Copies of this chain bind each other. A is one copy, B any other.
Amino acid sequence: MKRVRIMKNYKLTLCYDGSRYRGWQKQGNTDNTIQAKTEALLERILGRPAELAGCGRTDAGVHARRQVCSFRADTAMSCGEILEQLRRYLPEDIGALSLEEAPPRFHARLSCREKSYLYRIWNSEAPNVFERKYVYKYPAALDIGAMRRAAEELLGEHDFTAFCSNRHMKKSAVRNLRSISIERRGDELDLLLTGDGFLYNMVRIIAGTLIEAGRGERDAASVAAALESRDRQKAGFTAPAQGLCLWEARY
């Protein structure tokens, strides 16, 4: 009698310090991505290949506080056993926060309703040795009021082509940016962006554009005009990867 394979569906939440990786997504020419490292380990644990879907594809050098992933597997191991193995063998800069069985149709990216990214600016000449890999050091004075006014222009549903690095995108560039909170915590300035989805480099280009607004190099009207233009050249610089962290995914 043939054994019936029952593929279970899993929700795995990872965190990582992205400093030494070439981003989340598997690439042909390197195994130095978070997806590749984790899939290789899952294959060792489960005895069969497993394909991970991540809620967001973080770029090289970007971190994740909570990267929610899903995968299917046919195994007799319990979630606790798999999680223990992941924790034992993942490199020290990738952590497995939780693992649970998910409903059959759950998919980390497709089911995701809303995501948040945090962009951290270390806005001081003073050193921050302990968090140096997780912040973008930008010591010049920033006018938070001007940044908030500029951010207002980006809220809501728009075509964000001007805030995307991928020039040959064929799919829709319409996204709903639900909130941008800009808060100072001591010497640090935190930008928390929440939306239904983000284009390639979108958070980093928004961060760069808001920094330019905070410097007085552009005003809210110029940010609105950049958005309207759908021209990448009209938006601000792409802020460095290391200040960015995938903060949360909601389902």
Contacts and interface: CB of A to CB of B under 8 A. Distances in A.
A15 B124 CA distance: 15
A129 B87 contact: no
A134 interface: yes
A236 interface: no
Contact of A127 (B15, B128, B130): B15
Interface of chain A, main secondary structure: loop
A93 interface: yes
A130 B126 CA distance: 20
B94 A17 contact: no
Nearest to A86: B127
Contacts of A132: 17, 92-93
A97 interface: yes
Interface residues of A, number: 21
A197 interface: no
Interface in A63-77: 63
Most-contacted residue by chain B among A63, A94, A128, A130 (CB, 10 A)? A130
Interface in A142-164: none
Interface in A5-45: 15-17
A125 B63 contact: no
B130 A63 contact: yes
Interface in A195-243: none
A94 B15 CA distance: 26
Interface string A76-111: 000000000001001011111100000000000000
A114 to B, nearest CB: 23
Nearest to A126: B97
A15 B94 CA distance: 26
B63 A127 contact: no
24 contacts: A15-B127, A15-B129, A15-B130, A16-B129, A17-B129, A17-B130, A63-B130, A87-B125, A87-B127, A90-B127, A92-B129, A92-B132, A93-B129, A93-B132, A94-B127, A94-B129, A95-B126, A95-B128, A95-B129, A96-B127, A97-B126, A97-B127, A130-B131, A130-B134
Top-9 shortest CB links A-B: A95-B127, A95-B129, A17-B129, A15-B129, A93-B129, A92-B132, A16-B129, A17-B130, A97-B126
Given A15-B127, A95-B129, A97-B127, 7 more contacts: A15-B129, A17-B129, A17-B130, A17-B132, A63-B130, A94-B129, A96-B127
